[in-house]
Amino acid sequence: MGRDNRFHSVFSSKRSKARVLMEVKVKNAWHRPAIIFLATVITFGIITMVAISVVQNKPLHQKYKYGIVLDAGSSHTSVFIYEWPAEKENNTGMVRQKHTCNVKGKGISSYFANPQGAGASLQECMEEARQKIPAHRHHETPVYLGATAGMRLLKMENDKASENVLDSVAHSLKSYPFSYQGARIISGQEEGAFGWITVNYLSQNLRKPTGTLGALDLGGASTQITFVPQQNIESSDNSIDFRLYGNDYHLYTHSFLCYGKDQALKLSMGKILESTLKADETDPVELRDPCFHPGYNQTRTVSSDFNTPCMKDVQLENKTFFHIGLGQWPQCQQSIIKIFNNMTCSYSKCSFNGVFQPSVYGDFGAFSAFFFVMDFLNLTSDSLDTTKQKLAEYCSTPWKKLVENYPKVNQKYLSEYCFSATYIVTLLEKGYSFSSNNWKDIRFIKKIGDSDAGWTLGYMLNLTNMIPAEAPDTPLMPHGGYVTFMLLFSLLILVLLLMAYFYFRRSTRTAQKDII
């Protein structure tokens, strides 16, 4: 009996030692160098994949910043609100137009006799801006006012009056909870250059080496042409350089003050009236205008219609005259050609008035009044010859019939479309030297995406330094490369996991066999 107990005790002791030995050996399987190496590689691989995925796919939190630009033109003022994701302030294509408001009444230059009225006229649109922009962003939202050709003319005529108008709008803008950045008269060269930046930024051409879009801008008092030429720019006054997104741009640009559609109309009428007064001294005088529809007849006065610095070279007495429409398109174009001076040019090539211009090259975006006039007449996609034919038909339409066809259109604007469209065709063809061959290169545009084409966006981008001189950050790798990398890395980790599993399983079985 005692011997049996001793045997049982010895057997139990050996079995316990075997169990302990087996557990030690099984545990030691985890500590094999190969298992440790595989576990380390797998862990490192998973961490690497997670890190690359985070960098490649940064989450876009919908936090926006805002900017306000007021375009104080000769005929009206518009307020533009722009927004962009706060996290991607310097990336191309991110700024978009959130809202626009057209100020009621005429441009701020018309308030030269009542400067306080200029600031007051902005209140309704600025209140809209207050509502559209979240309150917590008000204090950091910059506000800029850029005055164009209307204020340039007022400054030429009455510098003190222009200062009073700018002081009035500055006082008004400072009363709002935004970050006021200034109100000033921008130069014609700036207006042309910023318009070029806008259309190319919105078209995302600034990141492409393939080419840019020329800019054609037409307002009430001035017109601008800006493009990258193929030949040297012979006049330093018409040259401007930019470095945008790592690319250098050498631009030709010029702004013709007094050659916006409203001032050009005054010049054309003044030339006709001047020749009429020389030939006929009777009173009242008839201004027989081929650019207005047959049957059109209005009584006007020289003092009210030609009170502009652009008319300083036209000698007119202060008389009452009858403005009578003839509706003769060929004669209309000839009368417009007379306001261009093509007699002198001290360069290898000029547009008009002795201004150097290289040959137009590439595609162009024609916006502002270029678009609005041609769009109203449905002439935005026709050839040059077809445009002329349709214009001749339109201009010969009796005034009475035209009023009946467009009862809701302001008659002042309606009466001027024949002249404005003819002026556009003449300016582009005879002034800038577009022809039937490259007319198709002109695109009449109002918007690019959700944003208006014009100088205001380029102006804000420039002042806020939101277009970097060097190329913006790009993803760690292209999308296709990223997908391929993640797939291959996942397969590699899967293979390593299988290797670790089989190695561990084999190690465990080996340990069990050793115990037996």
- Catalytically active residues, by annotation: 191
Count of beta carbons in the 10 Å neighbourhood of residue 346: 9
Q: Which two tokens stand for residue 168?
A: 């009035």
Contact predicate 441/363, CB 8 Å: yes
Secondary structure of 447-504 in the HEC alphabet?
EECCEECCCHHHHHHHHCCCCCCCCCCCCCCCHHHHHHHHHHHHHHHHHHHHHHHHHH
List the end-to-end C-alpha distance of the chain, in Å, as a whole number: 29
Q: How many C-alpha atoms does 21 have within 13 Å on its Cβ side? A: 13
Q: Which two tokens stand for residue 149?
A: 């050709």
d(CA 309, CA 291): 23
Nearest CA-CA partner of 147 in 175, 129, 122, 114: 122
d(CA 391, CA 420): 11
Count of beta carbons in the 10 Å neighbourhood of residue 320: 13
Q: What is the DSSP letter of 177?
A: S
Place of tokens 């070279």: 313
Cα angle: 489, vertex 495, 496; to 5 degrees: 90
Contact predicate 180/122, CB 8 Å: no
Nearest CA-CA partner of 45 in 500, 512, 373: 500
Q: What is the DSSP letter of 430?
A: I
Helix (H) or strand (E) holding 404: helix 399-405
d(CA 205, CA 195): 14
Q: Which residue stretches of 93-187 are H helix? A: 115-120, 123-132, 149-157, 159-174
d(CA 477, CA 482): 6
Q: Please give the backbone phi and psi of residue 323, each rounded to the nearest 5 degrees, phi first.
A: -95, 110
